[in-house]
Structure 1
Amino acid sequence: MGGNGGSGTNAEKRPNELLTSWFVRSGWSKGELARQVNRRARQLGANHISTDTSRVRRWLDGENPREPIPRILSDLFSERFGCVVAVEDLGLRAAHRTPSVSGVDLPWTGPGTVALISEFSRSDLMLARRGFLGTSLGLAAGPSLIEPMQRWLVPGPPAPPREDSAGAASRGRGRLSRPELELLEATTVMFRQWDASCGGGLRRKAVVGQLHEVTDLLQEPQPAATARRLFKVAAELAELAGWMSYDVGLQPTAQKYFVLALHAAKEAGDRPLGSYVLSSMSRQMIHLGRPEDALELVHLAQYGSRDCASPRTQAMLYAMEARAYANMGQPGRCKRAVRMAEDTFADAEDWDEPDPDWIRFFSAAELHGENSHSYRDLAYVAGRSPAYAGLAEPVMREAVDLFAKDGEHQRSYALNLIGLATVHLLQREPEEGVVRARQALEVARKVRSERVNTRIRKTVDAAVRDFGDLADVVDLTEQLATHLPETAEAV
């Protein structure tokens, strides 16, 4: 029964009322759910999974499927409802998970951080294609996520003394030359550029492999200054691995990499970088329908970097704060955060020091994109308010125009085209919405981003729901079915 996810036991089965409730509210048929489970299993490399309608019926009747089925169901229902739906919420039993693999409450020590990153990246490289890593993780949310992250600011135990450069050289190993270290840093920049232009699905495994190599270097004796720079590289690579995992829909894996990145940033003594990692975690929580958690994370980032982050970084954090407030339905605080983002960004050009590469993405186009999405989200929360949609439209249009001139950030261009399409739909302008959705579809075909693909599908679904009798909408639906792949494989 292993190929169909059965539990292997029929003892005292009772109908699974929790799973049935989520299933009924989803609007899926048993066949649709079975097909989605099979698609997600293939995406993860779990090709032994072959689910059908009879198997779904048995789950609803009380059969507890084997891993990775419970985690796949958790991911599917979380995406469907825009909130974290844990395995336990579905009335299923979660597989036992060791803290080193699944937890977010990890020890804040240098050697421990290196060991955890090494173990997790190795497991990702070895097991992800067979579907055992991403589906063995659980998403943390609420206090179980926020409280461990707050310890980012707590001074850690004193690090054991490291050799100076002369001592490391005399041992004949573990000493990186300056050109070698600079090459590692330059490679991280290159990976980040690839992600921006091609999406997270194309180079994720390469980033994870590079991260694992850096942990090998950190396990060798290094001068203190070199170790700090290596921890910084590890933090940036772990954040990027998390971001790429988020982009292709591997949400628990993404969260674990973000947590490890924050630990590495702490060891590097780089609080602005830590605030950037927290902003990525905040964005993920917004995506998962947890704006309160997102706000807690961004406030933690702002507090931790209040006296050291550049204006560009501070502006990005204000923009994320606005997104959280928008999704919480607090327009006054959202608008204030938008103004703070704009005012702070205006100071970026006068900043005396060069910005790190990881914040270079936050351009005027990105600022407009974030702020317009905040207004758009307010429109959704306020019951499709035309007033907030009207605020979003000119700002979103400016973002799209700027991204159209930017050949590097293609995924952001696609996401903002989709955003503009949704704004036109909110304004009851389906023809304009279709034009922007078609443009987004063309860009999406050039990148490997399940996040982009999913948002296009949701936008087209909204167009069909509200304007399904229009010829342009019918044609767009046919184009979507023909040209957009259903999944972006995580590699």
Structure 2
Amino acid sequence: MDRRSFLVLSSSALIEVAADWARIEPRHLSQALGGQQIDEELLRWLEQRSGELRTLAAGTHRQVSGLIDAHLNTAIDLITQDRYSSAMGRRLHAVAADLAHRAAWLRFDADRHADAQRHWQAAVHAAHQAGDRDLAAVALSDLGYQATWLSRPADAIKVLEHARSRTRTPAARSLIDVRRARACAVLQDHTGTGRALTSAENELDRMRPQDTPPVVSWMSMADVNADAGRCWLDLGDPGRAGTAIDAGLGALDPRRSRTGAVFLTYRAEGSLRNRDASTAAADARAALDTALASGATRCIDLASALIHRLGDRTEQPMIELGEYARERLVGCPDQQRRRGACRS
């Protein structure tokens, strides 16, 4: 058993986190906080660095995790001093929420699921105190997405229902709808999947850049299409899946290497189900290369797990793929040891 996944929240605890947020309004910070203000210049500096680190975290900079943790610890230290006005408090909590949210994703990408959960919970709490409902809802929906990834789709649906209940922007609702569709598809709920995908597209049509918070500014039809393709794969329609995934990959920002690696793995699986061994092998190879370049363990696991399942195939493209993967994964014992550990 992977110790990093051992302390993942139980179903009841995970759903209770979501339910609490959905029903409780933020306390007025002015009732709990007050006194001497912190340094305005330092707070502005933290706010600026938070945005810069969010951008860096989307790339392949391996040092960014330590930088985010250091800035998050600084924000938490300032919060615990309780020496600021209510307005300052909201800004400090907003910084902490943004940093905790990004730290959670870096841990999720490293397959450190329990640690990711703790940071997403912290992000929900801090965003709640800052009055940022969309950031709180997105962080909560990340917990739902993780639940689907860990083969707990029923938990995911309950969490996502709570997350969607208090969103303010169409982009956030579109993201949550896509994630609900993914969970419904795993549960073989054709009707629920279709409704969620339709709602995701409708919400995305209402998205306006000037009204969209940074936490979901990346959301696009590329994401809706590719995740719809994953849904159709789960529901047994590889032809429809391939069309959707191709559309998603064609429109995806090339800087989003982790997402690209996941989508390429989906496409490889779709090609395999269409009995196209040559295309499946090419897509799987591209997925592995992209995943390794991203440095994200969960993406490497996803691609290598698919390649591992193809190990008994006798087609020449599959044999060559296996040889290529063994060469590329030299020096990555963790990925080889944990093949097949996660679900797409």
- Assess same fold via TM > 0.5: yes
Choose the corresponding residue for 1:222, options 71, 84, 88: 84
Deviates more, 1:284-293 or 1:266-275: 266-275
- Work out the CA distance in 1 between the residues paired with 2:277 and 2:165: 43
Matched, 1:480 2:325: yes
Deviations 1:329-383 (A, max 9, x none): 101110111111112111214x6x431211122122222222222222223xxxx
Unpaired stretches in structure 2, ≥5 consecutive residues: 336-344
Choose the corresponding residue for 1:359, options 201, 209, 216: 216
Q: TM-score, normalised by structure 2?
A: 0.89
Q: Do 1:266 and 1:274's aligned partners in 2 also have CA atoms closer than 8 Å?
A: yes
Matched, 1:239 2:105: no
AA matched with 1:470: E
Identity %: 23
Matched, 1:185 2:47: yes
Q: What secondary structure sits across from 1:446 in the alignment?
A: helix
In the TM superposition, residue 161 of structure 1 has moved relative to its aligned partner by 4.9
Report 1:368-447 matches (<5 A). 368-379=225-236, 388-403=237-252, 406-447=253-294
AA matched with 1:155: E
Q: Do 1:193 and 1:408's aligned partners in 2 also have CA atoms closer than 8 Å?
A: no
- Work out the CA distance in 2 between the residues paired with 1:402 and 1:255: 30
Matched, 1:277 2:107: no
In the TM superposition, residue 395 of structure 1 has moved relative to its aligned partner by 0.7
In the TM superposition, residue 227 of structure 1 has moved relative to its aligned partner by 1.1
Matched, 1:325 2:184: yes
In the TM superposition, residue 182 of structure 1 has moved relative to its aligned partner by 3.9
Alignment correspondent of 2:342: none
Structure 1 or 2, whichever has the larger Rg, is 1
Report 1:331-350 matches (<5 A). 331-349=190-208
In the TM superposition, residue 315 of structure 1 has moved relative to its aligned partner by 0.8
Q: Do 1:376 and 1:389's aligned partners in 2 also have CA atoms closer than 8 Å?
A: yes
- Work out the CA distance in 1 between the residues paired with 2:231 and 2:70: 36
- Work out the CA distance in 2 between the residues paired with 1:274 and 1:268: 9
Q: Do 1:411 and 1:452's aligned partners in 2 also have CA atoms closer than 8 Å?
A: yes
Q: Do 1:425 and 1:463's aligned partners in 2 also have CA atoms closer than 8 Å?
A: no
AA matched with 1:168: Q
In the TM superposition, residue 410 of structure 1 has moved relative to its aligned partner by 1.2
AA matched with 1:320: R
In the TM superposition, residue 157 of structure 1 has moved relative to its aligned partner by 5.3
**Closer, same or farther: CA 421–299 of 1 in aligned 2, 3 Å:** same
Q: Do 2:65 and 2:103's aligned partners in 1 also have CA atoms closer than 8 Å?
A: yes
**Closer, same or farther: CA 195–393 of 1 in aligned 2, 3 Å:** same
Q: What secondary structure sits across from 1:168 in the alignment?
A: coil
**Closer, same or farther: CA 487–204 of 1 in aligned 2, 3 Å:** farther
**Closer, same or farther: CA 364–189 of 1 in aligned 2, 3 Å:** farther
AA matched with 1:204: S
Q: Do 2:268 and 2:283's aligned partners in 1 also have CA atoms closer than 8 Å?
A: yes
Unpaired stretches in structure 1, ≥5 consecutive residues: 1-72, 76-133, 380-387
- Work out the CA distance in 1 between the residues paired with 2:96 and 2:163: 19
Aligned residue-pair number: 330
Alignment correspondent of 1:205: 66
- Work out the CA distance in 1 between the residues paired with 2:212 and 2:203: 14
CA RMSD between the two structures = 2.0
**Closer, same or farther: CA 182–419 of 1 in aligned 2, 3 Å:** farther
Alignment correspondent of 2:297: 450
Larger fraction in helix: 2
Q: Do 2:26 and 2:128's aligned partners in 1 also have CA atoms closer than 8 Å?
A: no
Alignment correspondent of 1:82: none
- Work out the CA distance in 1 between the residues paired with 2:148 and 2:275: 26
Q: TM-score, normalised by structure 1?
A: 0.64
